[in-house]
Structure 1
Amino acid sequence: MKIAIPADGPSLDARVHNKMGATPYLLVVDSDNLSFEILDSALLAPGPVAGVQALSLVLEKGAEVILVGYMSPNIIGPLQENGIEVVTSVSGNVKDAVMKYNRGGFAVAVNGDPASSPKPSVRQPGRWTEALRKTAKQYLSLLPMLSGVILLAGLFKAFLPQKLLLALFSGNMIQDTFAGAFIGSLLSGNPINSYVIGDTLLELGVGYAGVGAMMLTWVTVWLVQMPVEVSVLGTRFTLIRNIAAFLVAIPASILIVWLSRGAW
């Protein structure tokens, strides 16, 4: 959700300004990750129309909430009628104001009157609508992944011969642990895929030690993606991190077996 805040400076540490039309800076802050955009208040015309221009700027940027020191009730009413939430009497720095809003710590103006029967901002319909919209968006984004997981499960069972698995996993806990860690290092990818493959391996008779090691290295050791990691983080760090992750996966998977009372 985007929150518009007049500020004394161009950062989240700046103090919230009292009025939209007289502010040196206008910040539009994303309440989810605290990223923000600075709008040029120098473009505002001097005089009474400055406040209206400031509101136009932030609304064009998609702001759904305004945190400000003071705003005329005559302006608050029309804004709320159009779904814009207004919180007045805001002070302190911008970051603290956004965090307090996220916690539902402010009372919002009701019917254009900041002093009449305030209610917690967290209960505003706009907040619930936004939350439902984001939840639906995240769920829809997972659908292709879930479809891929189902397909992967079928392919894995169809094309991986059981004899090959028996050759890789001998039944010896130590050997199976190293074998699983090696396979996970080669097939690194989305964690959800490791759950599917792990379940398939268990169905085919592979022990928990090998499956546990495979799942651990699947998400921590990235041999296939190592060139990319080297280019970003450097060769030394990449090698040490991957080797350490591989070695840690061995005792960790054995510990899992031990805690599972030997069901390997």
Structure 2
Amino acid sequence: MRNSRRITEHQRKEDGLKVAVPAEGADLDAKSGDRLGHASHLVVVDLQSKVFEAFRTPRDSGNGSGMQMVALVIAKKCDVLLVKWCSPIAEKYLSAHGVRIVTGMSGTVAEIVEQFKNQNRNSRIEETGDLPTITWKIDREVAAQAFRSGSRQIRNLLPVTIGVIFLAGLFSAFLSEEFLSSLFSGSLWWDSFWSASLGSVFAGNPISSYIIGEKLLELGVSLGAVTAFICSWVTVGLLQLPAEIAALGWKFAVVRNLSCFALSIAISFSMTLIMRFSGA
């Protein structure tokens, strides 16, 4: 009798879960997405009420679309993510916010949700917080899909890389040493501040910052200024701030961006001191 009561209580906990599924459409009959960054919608299903919501995802946001999907899953307070494949970085952030990740799922949204319910119906776990992550054996189909996905990412990066090469040429042609000397006075404080400010405003692929940073060094800009520029380019995003506030809240977004801005300057100081003491 006691065991039966425990199972019933656990079943109520399972039925009250909010399950998130990346999908190619806005209904339960839509095909599930292979991974977070490639799906057009995020379907959130309440297992108890059977009510679902579909949210349009930033599919065309480049390499950051997957992490924006992660932010959306967290913002909607989902308990479980059902997906075919999840990157280690996304899994780390989701697990830190208490989101359970079940990989290897494929089919329509309705089929995946039903499959998840059937698999957990016979479980005997007394506490929801102790639910283990379900692991699935990777087969050849999944490996082939991962290879195709990696090849597609490399193909998408080629135009960006070519564009950056042309951009580096424009830097050499239009940014003279006299202009850079007027912008960067040689003061470590001011150079780091201005570089971090420029990096915070610019938006683009992180690869671009490294090539631009190399060109700035060739034009005589100090190492500290270039370091601050690269760090703020990668970690601070003023253009993406409204979307980040909408997904994670204004307090978190503002504190994160200000902290990363300050850390960019601190890292530039540290790098300058390290290079000086090492004699480089």
C-alpha spacing 1:211/1:132, structure 2 compared with 1 (3 Å): same
Give ranges in structure 1 of 5+ residues lacking alignment.
Answer: 1-8, 13-27, 43-57, 59-68, 70-90, 103-120
Q: 160, 163, 177: which is aligned to 1:162?
A: 177
Task: Point out the structure with max Rg over C-alpha.
Answer: 1
Counterpart of 2:135 in structure 1 is 99
Q: Structure 1 or 2: larger helix share?
A: 2
Q: 265, 271, 276: which is aligned to 1:250?
A: 265
Offset of 1:101 from its aligned partner?
A: 0.5
Tell me the amino acid that sits aligned with residue 226 of structure 1.
Answer: L
Deviations 1:30-57 (A, max 9, x none): 4313365332999xxxxxxxxxxxxxxx
- Root mean square deviation of aligned Cα: 4.0
Counterpart of 2:110 in structure 1 is 38
Offset of 1:201 from its aligned partner?
A: 0.6
Counterpart of 2:240 in structure 1 is 225
Identity of aligned residues (%): 35
Q: Is the 8 A contact 1:10 1:38 kept in 2?
A: no
Deviations 1:141-187 (A, max 9, x none): 22222222222222222222322211121222222212211221222
Deviations 1:9-38 (A, max 9, x none): 9999xxxxxxxxxxxxxxx87431336533
User: Is 1:179–2:215 an aligned residue pair?
Assistant: no
Q: 146, 165, 178: which is aligned to 2:161?
A: 146
Normalised to the residue count of structure 2, the TM-score between the two structures is 0.51
Q: 187, 193, 215: which is aligned to 2:208?
A: 193
C-alpha spacing 1:98/1:147, structure 2 compared with 1 (3 Å): farther
SS at match of 2:186: coil
C-alpha spacing 1:92/1:218, structure 2 compared with 1 (3 Å): same
Offset of 1:218 from its aligned partner?
A: 0.9
Counterpart of 2:231 in structure 1 is 216
SS at match of 2:135: helix
Offset of 1:242 from its aligned partner?
A: 2.0
Offset of 1:241 from its aligned partner?
A: 2.3
Offset of 1:204 from its aligned partner?
A: 0.4
Deviations 1:90-111 (A, max 9, x none): x989x97962403xxxxxxxxx
Q: Distance in 1 between matches of 2:136 and 2:158?
A: 34
Normalised to the residue count of structure 1, the TM-score between the two structures is 0.54
Q: Distance in 2 between matches of 1:193 and 1:101?
A: 37
Deviations 1:208-255 (A, max 9, x none): 100001111112222233333334444333332222221121111111
**Mapping for residues 23-102 of structure 1, pairs under 5 Å:** 30-33=83-86, 34=103, 37-39=109-111, 99-102=135-138
Aligned length: 177
Q: Is the 8 A contact 1:31 1:98 kept in 2?
A: no
Tell me the amino acid that sits aligned with residue 260 of structure 1.
Answer: M
Q: Distance in 1 between matches of 2:250 and 2:209?
A: 27
Q: Distance in 1 between matches of 2:165 and 2:174?
A: 15
